[in-house]
Chain A
Amino acid sequence: MAAQPVLLNNTYRIQPDERLPLFDLPGIPAFAAYDLRDPAAAYFALILSPRDPIPSFSSEDAPVHILWPKASGIVLWPDIQHRGLREMPVLIYRRPNVQKVGSVSEPLSDIVLIRNVIQPVVAALQELSQLNLTHRAIRLDNIFQNSDGTILLGDCLTLPPGAHQPVIFETIENALTHPYGKGSGHITDDIYSLGVLAAIFALGKECTALSIPEENMALLKADRGSFRVITSGFRFSARLEEFFRGVLADRPPERWTLSILEKWLNNQGIPATLPNAPAKASRAIAFAGGEYYTRPSLAIAMNIHWQEASQLVMEEDFYHWVRRAFSEQKQSEQYERARVQANYHGAPQATGHRAASRLISLLYPTMPVSYKNWRIYPLGLASLLRYAAEKEDSQQDLKEFILSRLIHSAIDAIAAPSQALTVFRRQLEDMSSFLEREGPGLGLKRIVYELSPDMPCRSPMMGAKYVTSAAQLLPALEEGLSGNDNSVFLMDDYLACFLAVQMKSSAARDIPFLQGDWQRIEARLAILRIWGHVQRAYPAGHLPKVSQILLNMALKLVGEIIRNREMRAQTEEYLRRAAEQSDFSTMARLLDPSSQTCLADQHEYQRAKARYARLEWEVKWLEAGGLTNKNRVAAMAQRFAASLAILSSSAFLAFFFIWMMT
């Protein structure tokens, strides 16, 4: 049976039963799509993960040499896992008449290589450069061939930059970096990837670099240089040799920029830059079974053998080597200072790890920031956390990493940081406090949402909805609830983090009350207040299921907050009326401990309690014979007898003497 087409913005029709594997990305399937206004035009749609934000892009300045989306949005997509429909983000692309490249068997001649591969890719990079973007996905399975043989680059917006790049296409530094922690990088990273791509096209089957195992690639490139490894020792024409030497330079300052590439393509003179080999030590340092003469090679080895590195940096031998082997007093003082700084911002048992990180940065400044198994560039932290923040075995190390201020120091060491880095540095400073405490709305998840404000809420309570703003929360909750959720608090860690970021000036203020056991009165009141804030800011009409759950919570709270039965019954009635209107802010206000009602109830309760205690004392006194005590009774009776005697005899005597006088 043909699947129902799915509509996007009433403009595009996507066919769930028409797969287009040609345009698939890793983990992202492609489906045929059509424009309702122009049925002849062919499109395809990429159905993205509902756990990630939709990439932002402008379709007006769309690059021509890259597959670029035309439209984006949210669709209700058949969800096989949950047997229903689910909101999924989608990107629509114009479907070009292309073939996937995949592999290269026949080498291209110089002219064809330059015309079909290098020129189109350079043009694509120029377009991206104007948009202040990088591609970071130039690889064999992400390029297409037009009918005229020229290359069309695949999508570069959908996945984290460099996340699926084979190591061969990456610079030494990027090869060592976590796939999700690379950040957007620099256009020269794309130029390097272009160099590798061009070499594969130039060599065809002769490109032996493709058969080098990935785990050996980075060290091999560091040892022999990327040029020699990638070109597999082949002798090219002078022009191409110049090209490969320029684009495959391992040191970023030596690598060709776009302007140099343009000059080369236009046969203009290129200023010669002699490769600047790293300073070689007068004697090698032994480390992890090898011997190293240069700081970069040692840094790479330390990254690969981290445990040994954390021990090496705690030994005096290392600092002696730095001081004597390079004869640079100033540098060695920097290393000493880095060792001292490692004593701070973390547990003493992790000092070696922090020291290793700082010293690797000094040995090889363009290296990613390293800590244990993690290597990232600062701007890659957001995408790394989106990937890793929920994995139990990653959380502790990532927390230590951020709190150790290694990333802060890496940014501070940059002479002229970009605006993005400066903003990020400030964000990082503000966010460190979220890691120092545990609880809902805090921790790594909070930082995920702080760094990625477009992140959809990952709470399971969102059900099949894709929620990216607080305005969508209540309707999504209503749809996601089954109606039998009596034990639900209507809050979880994801929601707390999401709200803490989306509603900083209102709901976020109640998040701290969620720390600890949610059975506490303060926590449940906070949940009620939070939804009151959301409902007040984003009214969502009648929400019977959400209202019922909050009403159940509120009715239980009434019993615990308000003691007077009559006042309680009255408050319950008001709560029911508010719940009928889905007026959560009124419900929260009714149970506010500082409200007139609650304060009066507390005051009267204290008085009643004192009164009860007094009555209890009196009852006990009476039951212990307070009034019937023999001595007391006797004393009172005697007093009464005396009084009676005085009164009666005085009266008698008075009457007697009056009678006597008359």
Chain B
Amino acid sequence: MKWIIILLFLPIAIFLLPSTIVLAISLFPSLIVFLIDNTKRHYMTVTIFFFNLAGSAYFLQLLWKKGHHLSMIGETLSNQMGWLFSFSGTGLGWLIFIILPSIWGQVCKAQSSILTIRLKREQKKLIELWGPDIAKPER
């Protein structure tokens, strides 16, 4: 599957070589993250990459405005706003990746309490309807 994707995107990458080079350089933080990411399925890399990619759109917009030539790569990459957006995307992705588990944990805790109460209520109804023997385990 991996090789199919590579073979599919390689011609596009070659065709859009200047964009490819600019993206490759602006997505450098994602590469670092990929190297240090030990999560299953590289969720950290994916999160940071996509936000990084979104931030790198400024560079692409600059390059395409200036004519999409290899010679414009240097000028494009020297734009400070571009790097600001690129690193901001990276930072946002990293922030979301760090904060979300604790928010998620609180949500799960609340959900667990609500579910437990609901389940116990249903058990109580069953006992009222069928008697306490229903709670005795099958031998």
A residues sitting closer than 8 Å to B (CB atoms) are: 563-566, 605, 608-609, 611-613, 615-616, 618-619, 622-623, 625-628, 630, 633-642, 644-646, 648-650, 652-653, 656-657, 660
State how many residues of chain B have any CB contact under 8 Å with chain A.
46
Q: Does B135 count as interface, using CB distance less than 8 angstroms? A: yes
CB neighbours of A566 from chain B (8 A): 129
Known: A609-B134, A619-B116, A619-B120. A633 touches B108 (CB 8 A): yes
B123 close to A619 (CB less than 8 A): yes
**Shortest Cβ distance from B65 into A: residue:** A660
B positions within 8 Å CB-CB of A: 39-41, 43-44, 46-51, 53-54, 57, 61, 64, 89, 93, 96-97, 100-101, 103-105, 108-109, 111-112, 115-116, 119-120, 122-123, 126-131, 133-135, 137-138
> Which of A566, A627, A646, A660 has most B Cβ within 10 Å?
A627
User: Which secondary structure dominates where chain A touches chain B?
Assistant: helix
Q: Are B133 and A563 in contact (CB under 8 A)?
A: yes
Bound Cα distance from A625 to B113, whole angstroms? 10
Asked if B61 and A633 sit within 8 Å, CB to CB, the answer is no
Residues of B within 8 A of A611 (CB): 126
Of the candidates A616, A638, A645, A656, the one whose C-beta lies within 8 Å of that of B51 is: A645
A653 near B57: Cβ-Cβ < 8 Å: yes
Say yes or no: A640-B104 contact (C-beta < 8 A), given A563-B131, A645-B46: yes
Given A563-B131, A608-B129, A642-B47, the answer on whether A618 and B119 have CB atoms closer than 8 Å is: yes
The smallest beta-carbon distance between A656 and chain B, in angstroms, is 5
Tell me how far the C-beta of A134 lies from the nearest C-beta in chain B, rounded to whole angstroms: 66
Q: Tell me, in angstroms, the Cα distance from A626 to B115 when the chains sit together.
A: 11
Residues of A within 8 A of B105 (CB): 628, 630, 633, 637
Asked if residues B130 and A605 are in contact (CB atoms below 8 Å), the reply is yes
B59 to chain A, nearest CB (A): 12
Say whether A627 contacts B112, CB under 8 Å: yes
Supply 14 A–B pairs (Cβ within 8 Å), ascending by A.
Answer: A565-B128, A605-B130, A618-B115, A626-B112, A630-B105, A636-B108, A637-B100, A637-B103, A637-B105, A638-B100, A641-B43, A641-B47, A641-B97, A660-B61
Tell whether A563 pairs with B122 under 8 Å between CB atoms, given A642-B47, A646-B46. Answer: no
Q: Contacts A565-B128, A638-B43, A652-B57: A609 and B50 contacting too (C-beta < 8 A)?
A: no
Residues on B with beta carbons closer than 8 Å to the beta carbon of A657: 57
- Cβ-defined partner of A619 (8 Å) among B41, B50, B119: B119
B116 engages A609 (CB within 8 Å): no
Which B residues are CB-close (under 8 A) to A645? 46-51, 93, 96
CB pair B46–A615 under 8 Å, yes or no, is: no
Docked Cα-Cα span, A274 to B108, in Å, equals 119
**Beyond A618-B115, A619-B116, 17 extra complex contacts between A and B, CB < 8 Å:** A565-B128, A608-B126, A609-B130, A616-B135, A618-B119, A627-B115, A628-B112, A637-B104, A637-B105, A638-B44, A641-B47, A642-B46, A645-B48, A645-B50, A648-B51, A652-B57, A656-B61
Asked if residues A633 and B101 are in contact (CB atoms below 8 Å), the reply is yes
* Contact indicator A564/B96 (Cβ below 8 Å): no
Contacts of B108 in A (CB 8 A): 627-628, 633, 636
**B54: which A residues are within 8 A, CB to CB?**
648-649, 652-653, 656
Instruction: Indicate if the CB atoms of A608 and B130 lie closer than 8 Å.
Output: yes
Q: Please give the distance in Å from A626's CB to the nearest CB on chain B.
A: 7
A627-B108, A644-B96, A645-B47 given; A563·B116 CB < 8 A: no
Are B134 and A615 touching (Cβ within 8 A)? no
Contact A565 B129 (CB under 8 A): yes
A560 to chain B, nearest CB (A): 10
Taking the nearest CB of chain A, how far is it from the CB of B87, in angstroms?
Answer: 15
Which residue on A lies nearest to B53, using beta carbons?
Answer: A649
How far, in angstroms, from A637 to B126 measured CA to CA in the complex?
35
Contact B109 A649 (CB under 8 A): no
A407 to chain B, nearest CB (A): 50
Let me know if A622 and B123 touch, CB within 8 A: no
Closest 5 CB pairs of A and B: A638-B43, A637-B101, A637-B104, A649-B54, A649-B50
Measured CB to CB, the closest approach of chain A to B108, in angstroms, equals: 5
Taking CB atoms, residues of chain A closer than 8 Å to B40 are: 635
Q: B51 — which chain A residues lie within 8 A by C-beta?
A: 645, 648-649
Q: How far is the CA of A648 from the CA of B49 in the complex (A)?
A: 12
Q: Measured between C-beta atoms, what is the minimum distance from B123 to chain A in Å? A: 5
Contact between chains at B138 and A633 (CB < 8 Å): no
Given A639-B43, A645-B50, also A615-B138 (CB < 8 A): no
Whether A608 contacts B104 in the complex (CB less than 8 A), given A627-B115, A639-B43, comes out as no
Q: Which of A633, A637, A650 has the most CB of B within 10 A?
A: A637
Pairwise interchain contact A612-B46, C-beta atoms closer than 8 A: no
**B109: A residues at CB distance < 8 A:** 627-628
Distance of A494 Cα from B128 Cα, bound (Å): 43
Would A565 and B131 count as touching, CB distance under 8 A? yes
Complex Cα spacing A565 to B125, Å: 11
Minimum CB distance partner of A650 in chain B: B50
Chain B residues with CB below 8 A from A633, complex form? 101, 104-105, 108
What is the bound-complex CA distance between A645 and B122, given in angstroms?
A: 39
On chain B, the residues within 8 Å of A639 by CB distance are: 41, 43
Contacts of B43 in A (CB 8 A): 638-639, 641-642
